Chains A and B, each alone.
Chain A
Amino acid sequence: MPKPFTPKVVTANALIEGDVIYLAADDSWVRDLTKAEVLSDEAIAQIRLLDAQARPSEAVGVYLADVKLGTQGAEPTHFREEFRRTGPSNYFHGKQAEADA
């Protein structure tokens, strides 16, 4: 039996800045995981992925990342995605430093 589908977000790196971006429900790219569109239907997720991959002048390396629903919205289920949404642990750089920007 195939594994049940778990919630996903569409994510990538921005073409110019190279930083982590997520696809929002209004088709815009957002920098904050909690503002990403959470996809709980596999068929819709595949279509959203294809849509995002068709925007190569904005995003590089588009894929579906697993998330779970928290109080603030999507949260990562794997530590790699935790680092992607936060930034490195040796300096206060990246997303964690730009949170209010």
Chain B
Amino acid sequence: MYRYTEFDTAFIQERNRQFRAQVERRIAGNLTEDEFKPLRLMNGLYLQLHAYMLRVAIPYGTLSSAQMRQLALLAEKWDKGYGHFTTRQNIQYNWPKLSDVPDMLDALAEVNLHAIQTSGNTIRNVTADHFAGAAADEIADPRPVAELLRQWSTDHPEFQFLPRKFKIAVTGAPNDRAVIKAHDIGIEIVSKDGQIGYRVLVGGGLGRTPMIGKVLSDFVPQADLLPFVEATVSVWNLLGRRDNKYKARIKITVHEHGIEEIQRLVEARFAETKAAFNGADLDLFAEIKESFAAPAFRNAPEDDFAAAYDADPVFRSWADTNLAEHKAPGYAIVQVSLKAHGQTPGDASAEQMRVLADLAERFGHDELRISHEQNVILPHVHKSDLPELHKILKAHGLATANIGKISDIIACPGMDYCALATARSIPIATQIATRFDELKTEHEIGDLKIKISGCINACGHHHVGHIGILGLDRGGVETYQITLGGDATETAALGERTGPGFSYEEIVPAIERLVDAYLDQRESAEETFLQAYRRLGMAPFKTALYETEEAEAA
């Protein structure tokens, strides 16, 4: 893992010292809220419905066990004993007091964590494939690129007052697990004639105007990455609309000017930025890459795994559902579900965080990842350790075998916490999970991604859910719209609205009717919901949603 330099450490300490003084001045009445708000947002501190919320950056979703333990400490000491992992691989604390936040930030700095640029109109935490450095299908580890971008974007003087927030995601594999097509810039590591380079997408995003990213360049050579990204952000910084925050994101700029015009402007600006970079970025990148060298994998027999797999059906179900293919022989990528049926998606208690830290230390080369799907990943576990690991996970409510299934739901905090929300999303997620757990059809249904947002800002990625649910306020009543056919991967697509929305009481039965229609009409158990939707189109699902309802009401 990347080790912070003295420069990184000094920078964070200085920022924390500044913020402590700002909080003191606010409490003493020497700063107004209007003056203080941009300062707290620069440090990840929001004011939500019931309390402040501190959003801590987890760069490219990677944590050491020491960092995870410190996150547990914060949850216990200054929050209500838990933390919430987000769709941008961060963690949020829902209950801090303003006066405690400087101490929380100092505690985070002890393990090189911070909340800088987790809010505001800046370049946000750079996210990456949560299987980085472990996936069998990877061309190169995306984390060195993400770390280079983090260092470049942190406190970048030109980019502290952008037209709007700016989100970058990186994948090192052709199978996109980082939703790069729904980011302001999406970077895919590619190989051309034996040379590593980058395919750069621009103008993707969800929110009130969802767009799939467009190709800005098919191949940016490795040496040109930073000047190219800088040129892109720089073009948007001048061109992006500051008159209307709903039209300020780069997706609108690309849409209004056209991708060809943006390409032309970026090329012109690139000629200048390229000349301004002196090669120090390449030396730095080489250093960063070394720090992400793969751990020393061991050669060991897998007999224990095979024995447990044959003997224990619970272990077998978990192994079939929650493991992913690792590049090293004998190893597996373990996905730990934070979606126990009926529990809040993405929440982990302080105790669970410590258990995960211990497991990472004992079995996982001290590494943990947070996925944008709000689960925890142990990227490097030898298969012979899996039975013991599973036993410990099970003892702490962490062995739910549902990765990629109907109960592995992304849900934003919604109106249970968020000041922007127009409806709740967490209880919809827990009720769907509980319902299909009761029906015992989850594994029969197979891969199905439900994503729920509690407002049009789409933190819950509903546009790219196979089934998307959007909670709205319609005349003072929570109302839920359904979209179908969304896809968050390399074949990204935006879901299509089915029709009128459903009330809070109606939405779970509506989802059940949709799933029943899929089970009735799929060609075989191998045909997933998304495949069936693509084959059948909207009609049979619309019938299931609306006509069946009328028949029942009649």
**A residues at B contact (CB < 8 Å):** 13, 15-20, 56-57, 60-61, 77-80, 83-84, 87-91, 93-95
Q: Point out the residues of chain B lying under 8 angstroms from A56, CB to CB.
A: 29, 32-33
Is the Cβ of B99 less than 8 Å from the Cβ of A16?
yes
A residues near B99, Cβ cutoff 8 Å: 16
Chain A's closest residue to B415 (CB) is A83
What residue in chain A is nearest B477 (Cβ atoms)?
Answer: A79
Distance of A20 Cα from B415 Cα, bound (Å): 14
A–B Cβ pairs within 8 angstroms, 18 of them = A15-B98, A17-B97, A18-B50, A18-B51, A19-B51, A20-B49, A57-B27, A57-B28, A57-B29, A61-B33, A80-B49, A88-B94, A88-B416, A88-B417, A89-B427, A90-B426, A91-B80, A93-B50
B234 at the interface (CB under 8 A from A): no
**A16 contact from B27, B424, B473, Cβ within 8 A:** B27
Which of the residues A18, A20, A87 comes within 8 Å of B98, measured between beta carbons? Answer: A18
* Interface pair A83/B27, CB less than 8 Å apart: no
- A58, chain B: closest CB distance, angstroms: 10
B380 to chain A, nearest CB (A): 33
Pair A90/B80 contact, Cβ less than 8 Å: no
Q: How far is the CA of A60 from the CA of B344 in the complex (A)?
A: 29
Q: List residues of B (87-107) whose CB comes within 8 Å of A's CBs.
A: 94-99
In the complex, whether B519 has a CB less than 8 A from a CB of chain A is no
Within 8 A of A (CB), among B24-72: 26-29, 32-33, 47-52
In the complex, the answer to whether A90 meets B32 with C-beta atoms within 8 Å is: no
Q: Does B402 contact A (CB under 8 A)?
A: no
Which of A60, A83, A95 has a CB less than 8 Å from the CB of B33? A60
The verdict on B119 contacting chain A, using a C-beta distance below 8 Å, is no
A89 B424 Cβ-Cβ under 8 A: yes
Kindly report which residue of chain A lies nearest to residue B23, judged by CB atoms.
Answer: A16
With the chains together, A15 CA to B473 CA distance in Å? 28
Q: Which of B51, B99, B427 has the most CB of A within 10 A?
A: B51
- Min C-beta distance of A35 to chain B, whole Å: 18
Residues of A within 8 A of B29 (CB): 56-57
Give the distance to chain A from B327, nearest Cβ to Cβ, in Å: 38
Q: Which of B47, B95, B416 contacts A60 (CB 8 A)?
A: B47
Interface presence of B476 (CB below 8 A): yes
Residue contact A78 to B97, C-beta cutoff 8 Å: no
Q: Which residues of B contact A (CB under 8 A)?
A: 26-29, 32-33, 47-52, 80, 94-99, 344, 415-417, 424, 426-427, 430, 473, 476-478
The reply to whether B51 and A94 contact each other, CB–CB distance below 8 Å, is yes
Interface centre among A18, A57, A80 (most CB of B within 10 A): A18
Given A56-B29, A56-B33, A57-B29, A17 and B476 contact (CB-CB distance below 8 Å) = no
Tell me if A15 and B27 are in contact (CB < 8 A). Answer: yes
Count contacts between A and B, CB distance < 8 Å: 73
Pick from A20, A57, A77: contact of B50, CB under 8 Å: A20
Name the CB-closest residue of A to B98. A16
Pick the contact of B476: A61, A78, A87, A91 (CB < 8 A). Answer: A78
The answer to whether A89 and B50 touch across the interface, beta carbons within 8 angstroms, is no
Q: How far is the CB of B399 from chain A (nearest CB, A)?
A: 21
In the complex, residue of chain B having the shortest beta-carbon distance to the beta carbon of A82? B415
Residue of A nearest to B430 (CB): A90
For B416, give its contact among A15, A77, A83, A95 (CB under 8 Å): A83
Q: How far is the CA of A83 from the CA of B473 in the complex (A)?
A: 14
Please report the C-alpha to C-alpha distance between residue A83 and residue B426 in the assembled complex, in whole angstroms.
Answer: 13
Q: A89 to B416: give the CA distance in the assembly, Å.
A: 6
- The 6 A-B residue pairs whose C-beta atoms are closest, nearest first, are A88-B416, A18-B52, A18-B51, A57-B29, A94-B50, A90-B426
User: A83 contacts which chain B residues (CB < 8 A)?
Assistant: 49, 415-416, 424
In the complex, residue of chain A having the shortest beta-carbon distance to the beta carbon of B347: A90
Contact A95 to B98, CB < 8 A, known contacts A60-B33, A83-B415, A89-B424: no
Kindly provide the distance from the CB of B75 to the nearest chain A CB, expressed in whole angstroms: 13
Collect the chain B residues with CB atoms within 8 Å of residue A90's CB. Answer: 344, 416, 426-427, 430
Do A93 and B47 contact each other (CB < 8 Å), given the known contacts A16-B27, A57-B29? no
Contact of B80 among A60, A93, A95 (CB under 8 A): A93
The CA-CA distance from A93 to B413 in the complex, in Å, is 14
Establish whether residues A17 and B51, one from each chain, have CB atoms under 8 Å apart when the complex forms.
yes
**For residue A60, which residues in chain B have a CB less than 8 angstroms away from its CB?**
33, 47
The distance in angstroms between the C-alpha atoms of A84 and B48, with both chains bound, is 10
- Contact partner of A95 among B32, B50, B95, B476, CB < 8 A? B50
In whole Å, how far is B226's beta carbon from the nearest beta carbon of chain A?
39
List 7 additional contacts besides A57-B28, A80-B473, A90-B416; criterion CB under 8 Å.
Answer: A15-B98, A16-B97, A18-B50, A78-B476, A84-B49, A93-B80, A93-B95
| Given A16-B27, A95-B50, also A89-B426 (CB < 8 A) | yes
Q: Point out the residues of chain B lying under 8 angstroms from A79, CB to CB.
A: 415, 473, 476-478
How far apart are B190's CB and chain A's nearest CB, in angstroms? 42
Pair A18/B416 contact, Cβ less than 8 Å: no
A66's nearest neighbour on chain B, judged by CB, is B476
Query: How close is A23's CB to chain B, nearest CB, in angstroms?
Result: 17
B47 touching A61, Cβ below 8 Å: yes
- What is the CB-to-nearest-CB distance from B353 to chain A, in angstroms, rounded to a whole number? 17
Q: A97 to chain B: closest CB distance in Å?
A: 9
Chain A nearest CB from B54 CB (Å) reads 11
Q: How far is the CA of A15 from the CA of B101 in the complex (A)?
A: 13
Bound-state Cα–Cα, A20 to B223, Å: 52
**Cα separation A13 to B37 with both chains bound (whole Å):** 14
User: CB-CB < 8 A to A15: which residues of B?
Assistant: 26-27, 98
Alpha-carbon distance between A17 and B99 when the two chains are bound, in angstroms: 8
> Which B residues are in CB contact (< 8 Å) with A61?
33, 47
Q: Which residue of A lies closest to B416 (CB)?
A: A88
In the assembled complex, the Cα of A93 lies from the Cα of B29 at a distance in Å of 29
How long is the Cα–Cα vector from A87 to B415 in the complex, in angstroms? 10
Q: What is the chain B residue whose CB lies nearest that of A62? A: B33
Question: How far is A95 from B416 in the complex, measured between Cα atoms in Å?
Answer: 12
Residue of B nearest to A13 (CB): B47
Q: In the complex, A77→B475 CA distance in Å?
A: 11
Residues of A within 8 A of B95 (CB): 93
